[in-house]
């Protein structure tokens, strides 16, 4: 563009020079057209190109001295195919008369009509505008004495204005095949003076082949030029551009810009104040300062994007918004930040972002490096976020899924480890390995309130450090359901497969409300603590699950298994054992209280095993062992319930006959369709053992009772015999001794 302006200025200077020459020789000539040949020869000698003046050269002396030119053509350089280098349909210039008497030039309006300029770069890189005069002469020409030089002592003081109508500039680059055209270029200025601002207005249309783009623009401004300090001040500048092209979002873009611009070439600075940019429904305002224009460019400023509706703006930018659970999500957005940096570094501090009801603030820094990703540093704070609003809409339940929704009392499963934020992140579908290896990240994020998968979290704090393929999220912490979460997530992407490790804990969490929010129903209540230490490897969810290894512990106190009616199951088992009809369900017994639930889950390569399940309730003791295949999503678990006491608690004397009997329940099937089976064979054997033991006890008690009765009878007979003998002895003594 700079070269283009030089060319335009050179061509304009050539015609102005011709005009000045014509004005100076007015007193010496009668018909300037007689000198066309000499002018063409002079141009030929100085540029090596043909100059053709087709129109007449008209001189005027009243009211002002002036020159009017018709069609003038300047030939192209040798080896270039365009028919000419430059051409004008006509030009006019006039000079004020009185200043000429003092050898001062004050021009009126300079008009240039129908300029055509053909610029070309050949395949070898040569151009048709370079070195127009060929090789310089071998000897320097003799200096012209000042007194003899035409126009000696003339000083250009002012120009009444410049008007260019219907100009066209064509540029062809044969090396790249690119073609660019500026057509219908119109320029009009006010008076040119060093003492006053210059009003300027221009408009044009343009086309480009790489990429295929066309459009039009208009510019209005006033500029104050300070030549001594090389300072240019553009006040109240407005630029309107319309672009058309297949590569543009929607095929068309309109950009409206307004600003005040202060360009200081001596200091290499630009200041844009009162900046307003509007495009695609976005309205940006602010200020921007740029330094070191020709060196390592640096800039600072403040920018603000006014509130807009992303659902309207982003589709216009060919950015498809994902479907969200809440159709009103992503309907409000606003951004404001202070900017400081260079072409390699950007610092946004402070940064403020509003998305719907969420407010994000803090600072962000980007540093370009040799990798494809910039190094990122941040410290951000988010007041609140309902993430569920932005998740995909829930899919309609399938028939297979609906059929698994059995009555609550039949949903008897071993509680699974609770999902946590880091666990969810470890199950990503596919990890972008190259991106992870190139990631350089250091930052902290604090969230006041967060809703995620129905869970309500608060006081969330996260810290991320990533460099050279090693990524760590630590510390991770959050408050939830009167308890707290803490986590440490590590990912090592340096090898062929990423290595993942998790160290997490949920402490003193109210399990019931948590499950209510997460799963929609409160299966288990109580105060729970869960710890998980796990490792895995792989870049897909399946690989991570298949290699998952570690230990999960579960401890819940003062709780209940809601919807799990163990008393009803015992009654049903009792009826089966006795061959009686099934008892009716009791709505009053819709949960099973327990004082404590404990379990240790050992996971090896995606298979979770448990052998120490322990649930203690006022009347039951439940144990269990088995395994869950996380890869195949299959179950094989045996839960064992033992009646401990019945004087208190659920069931009472109704199940006293089963005290001590182990009731085994086999859980099989899949996660989506679990199956429960009471193994009566084992229960019958256990009942038989209890019955035999009870019978033995009864016989033993009966025998002991009979022995006790016999002993008591014998003792009674002995006592009676003693009493009889005593009485007989007394009677004998009376007979012998009398009274």
Pair 348, 338: CB distance under 8 Å: yes
From its phi and psi, is residue 301 left (phi > 0), alpha (psi between -120 and 50) or beta? left
Position 692 scores a pLDDT of 64
Position 710 scores a pLDDT of 79
CA 381/CA 452 separation, integer angstroms = 17
Position 447 scores a pLDDT of 97
User: Residues with Cβ < 8 Å from 83, sequence gap 6 or more?
Assistant: 76, 118
Q: Which run of H or E residues covers position 51?
A: strand 51-53
Position 11 scores a pLDDT of 52
Position 647 scores a pLDDT of 46
220-251 residues labelled b (16+ CB within 10 A) or e (exposed):
ebbbebeeeeebbbbeebebbbebeeeebeee
Position 573 scores a pLDDT of 64
Taking only the tens place, the pLDDT of each residue in 501-556 is 999 999 999 999 998 888 787 878 999 999 999 999 998 889 999 999 999 999 99
Pair 613, 596: CB distance under 8 Å: no
Domain map of the chain by residue range? 1-131+154-210, 406-678, 691-739
In a 3-state reduction of DSSP, which class is residue 357? Answer: coil
Position 372 scores a pLDDT of 76
Selection from 604, 571, 603 nearest residue 585 by Cα:
571
Q: Which stretches of 563-680 are assigned E, i.e. beta strand?
A: 591-604, 607-616, 620-629, 634-643, 662-670, 674-678
Position 132 scores a pLDDT of 53
Tokens linked to 654? 């109704």
Positions of the chain with pLDDT lower than 70, given as ranges: 1-30, 61-63, 97-104, 131-157, 371, 395-429, 563-579, 582-590, 645-661, 679-693, 695, 735-739
Taking only the tens place, the pLDDT of each residue in 213-222 is 999 999 999 9
Selection from 499, 500, 524 nearest residue 511 by Cα:
524
Position 1 scores a pLDDT of 46
CA 320/CA 390 separation, integer angstroms = 14
Q: Which stretches of 95-230 are assigned E, i.e. beta strand?
A: 104-113, 116-121, 155-173, 178-189, 198-209, 212-226
Q: How many other CB atoms are there within 10 angstroms of residue 162's CB atom?
A: 20
């Amino acid at each position: 563009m700079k070269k283009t302006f030089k060319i335009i200025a050179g061509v304009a200077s050539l015609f102005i020079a011709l005009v000045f020459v014509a004005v100076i020789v007015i007193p010496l000539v009668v018909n300037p057209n007689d000198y066309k040949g000499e002018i063409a020869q002079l141009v030929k000698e100085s540029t090596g190109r043909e100059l053709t003046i087709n129109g007449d050269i008209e001189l005027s002396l009243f009211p002002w001295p002036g020159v009017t030119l018709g069609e003038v053509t300047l030939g192209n350089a040798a080896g270039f195919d365009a028919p000419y280098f430059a051409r004008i349909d006509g030009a006019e210039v006039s000079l004020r008369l009185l200043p000429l008497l003092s050898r001062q030039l004050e021009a009126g309006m300079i008009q240039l009509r129908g300029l055509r300029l053909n610029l070309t770069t050949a395949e070898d890189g040569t151009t048709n505008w370079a070195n127009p005069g060929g090789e310089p002469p071998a000897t320097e020409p003799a200096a012209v004495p000042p007194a003899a030089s035409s126009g000696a002592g003339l000083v250009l003081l002012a120009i009444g204005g410049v008007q260019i109508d219907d100009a066209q500039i064509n540029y062809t680059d044969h090396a790249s095949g690119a073609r660019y055209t500026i057509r219908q270029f119109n320029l009009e200025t006010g008076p040119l003076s060093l003492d006053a601002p210059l009003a300027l207005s221009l408009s044009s249309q343009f086309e480009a082949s790489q990429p295929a783009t066309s459009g039009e623009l208009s510019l209005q401004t006033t500029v104050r030029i300070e030549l001594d300090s090389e300072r240019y001040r553009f006040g109240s500048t407005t630029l309107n551009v319309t672009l058309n092209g297949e590569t543009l979002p929607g095929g068309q873009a309109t950009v409206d810009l307004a600003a005040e611009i202060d360009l200081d070439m001596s200091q290499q600075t630009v200041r844009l104040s009162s900046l307003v940019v509007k495009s695609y429904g976005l309205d940006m305002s602010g200020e921007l300062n740029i330094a070191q224009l020709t060196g390592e460019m640096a800039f600072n400023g403040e920018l603000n994007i006014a509130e807009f509706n992303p659902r309207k703006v982003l589709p216009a930018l060919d950015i498809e918004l994902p479907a969200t659970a809440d159709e009103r999500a992503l309907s409000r957005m606003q951004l404001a930040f202070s900017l400081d940096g260079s072409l390699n570094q950007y610092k946004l501090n402070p940064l403020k972002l509003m998305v719907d009801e969420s407010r994000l603030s803090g600072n962000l820094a980007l540093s370009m490096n040799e990798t494809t990703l910039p190094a990122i540093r941040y410290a951000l704070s988010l007041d609140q976020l309902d993430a569920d609003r932005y998740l995909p809409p829930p899919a309609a339940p399938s028939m297979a899924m609906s059929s698994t929704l059995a009555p609550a009392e039949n949903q008897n499963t071993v509680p699974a480890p609770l999902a946590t934020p880091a666990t969810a992140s470890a199950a990503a579908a596919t990890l972008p390995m190259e991106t992870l290896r190139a990631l350089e990240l250091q930052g902290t994020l604090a969230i006041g309130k967060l809703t995620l998968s129905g869970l309500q979290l608060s006081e969330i704090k996260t810290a991320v450090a990533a460099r050279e393929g090693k990524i760590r999220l630590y510390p991770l912490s959050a408050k939830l359901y009167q308890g707290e979460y803490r986590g440490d997530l590590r990912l090592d992407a340096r090898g062929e497969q990423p290595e993942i490790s998790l160290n997490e804990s949920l402490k003193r969490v109210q399990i019931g409300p948590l499950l209510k929010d997460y799963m929609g129903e409160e299966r288990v209540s109580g105060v729970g603590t869960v710890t998980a230490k796990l490792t895995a490897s792989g870049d897909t969810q399946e690989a991570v699950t298949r290699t998952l290894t570690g230990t999960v512990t579960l401890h819940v106190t003062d709780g209940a298994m809601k919807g799990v009616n163990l008393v009803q199951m015992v009654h049903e088992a009792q009826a089966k054992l006795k061959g009686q009809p099934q008892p009716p369900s009791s709505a009053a017994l819709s949960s099973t209280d327990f004082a404590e639930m404990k379990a240790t889950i050992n996971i090896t390569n995606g298979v979770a095993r448990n052998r120490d399940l322990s649930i203690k309730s006022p009347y039951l003791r439940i144990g269990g062992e088995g395994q869950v295949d996380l890869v195949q999503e299959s179950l094989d678990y045996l839960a064992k319930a033992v009646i401990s006491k019945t004087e208190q608690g659920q069931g009472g004397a109704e199940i006293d006959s089963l005290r001590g009997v182990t009731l085994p329940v086999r859980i099989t099937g899949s996660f989506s369709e679990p199956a429960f089976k009471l193994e009566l064979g084992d229960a019958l054997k256990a009942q038989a053992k209890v019955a035999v033991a009870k019978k033995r006890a009864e016989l033993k008690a009966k025998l002991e009772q009979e022995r006790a009765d016999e002993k008591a009878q014998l003792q009674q007979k002995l006592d009676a015999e003693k009493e009889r003998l005593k009485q007989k002895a007394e009677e004998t003594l009376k007979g012998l001794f009398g009274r």
